[in-house]
Amino acid sequence: MSNYKDEVNKLLRLESNKGCAECDQRAPLWASVTLGVFLCTRCASVHRHVSKPVTFVRSCTLDEWTEEQLRKMQSMGNVKSRELYEAKMPRNVVRPGRDATFQQVETFVRQKYEHKLWMKKEEPKIQSKTQPVPKTNLLSFEVEQVAPAPKPVIQKSKNDVTEWLRTEPQTKPVQPKKELPSLEDFFAEQNQDDLFNMVKTTKNQNIMNLFEKPAPVRVAW
């Protein structure tokens, strides 16, 4: 780019970029073009040590920049970057000052950008169910509608017939059927008076006829 240096200088004059992104040292002349932050010489050397893909350092005055790198610097900047990467930073965590050792700055930089310990979480992109489904998003709406319902949990219980059927062994011994006595034998064995008292309340005429007639015992029921 022909005029990228003018653009970089314009960004460096912004109040938000007048101090190093890590230690607030004035007049930074370096930048991490992957993170979009301006850095002092000391912090730039730490970023260079941490290196790609976390951070990639360029000089604001010596290096050639690509258009993409410039756009990253324009879209981010030091204040915005802190809002993003230090959003959840506890109060007891202190940014490395001018007296901090290289190791201390490196630990801070790795926690901040590599492990993203204090980074603001991105807004969830999934729509909540209470939001109306836009017409252009009918496909996802349909998918949501046909999603399978969770299977009901079957409680195991001895009283549960299905469970009993499933667990009952199929080799249950079959009780031999008792031969019923013939009707003739049955009546022959009974006391006729008791039998009559037992069935006299019945309204079945066939039964009543059975006891009123002396002989016949074969009756079609």
Measured from the CB atom, is 39 or 210 closer to Zn ion? 39
- Residues 8, 11, 17, 23: which binds Zn ion (CB under 5 A)? 23
Binding to Zn ion by residue 70, rule CB under 5 A?
Answer: no
Bridge partners, 38 (sequence order): 31
Binding to Zn ion by residue 127, rule CB under 5 A?
Answer: no
- Please identify, among the stretches 20-28, 138-146, 151-159, 176-184, the one whose residues bind Zn ion according to the rule CB under 5 A: 20-28
At its nearest, how many Å lie between Zn ion and the CB of residue 82? 13
Binding to Zn ion by residue 20, rule CB under 5 A?
Answer: yes
The mark string for 29-68 relative to Zn ion (x by CB under 5 A, - otherwise) is: -----------x--x-------------------------
At its nearest, how many Å lie between Zn ion and the CB of residue 129? 47
At its nearest, how many Å lie between Zn ion and the CB of residue 133? 48
Measured from the CB atom, is 40 or 210 closer to Zn ion? 40
- Please identify, among the stretches 22-30, 145-153, 169-177, 189-197, the one whose residues bind Zn ion according to the rule CB under 5 A: 22-30
Q: How many residues bind Zn ion (CB under 5 A)?
A: 6
User: Per the structure block, which two tokens stand in for 94?
Assistant: 């202190």
SS3 sequence of the chain? CCCHHHHHHHHHCCHHHCECCCCCCECCCEEECCCCEEECHHHHHHHHHHCCCCCCEEECCCCCCCHHHHHHHHHCCHHHHHHHHCCCCCCCCCCCCCCCCHHHHHHHHHHHHHCCCCCCCCCCCCCCCCCCCCHHHHHHHHHHHCCCCCCCCCCCCCCCHHHHHHHCCCCCCCCCCCCCCCHHHHHHHCCHHHHHHHHCCCCCHHHHHHHHCCCCCCCCC
At its nearest, how many Å lie between Zn ion and the CB of residue 22? 5
Contact residues for Zn ion, defined by CB under 5 A: 20, 22-23, 25, 40, 43
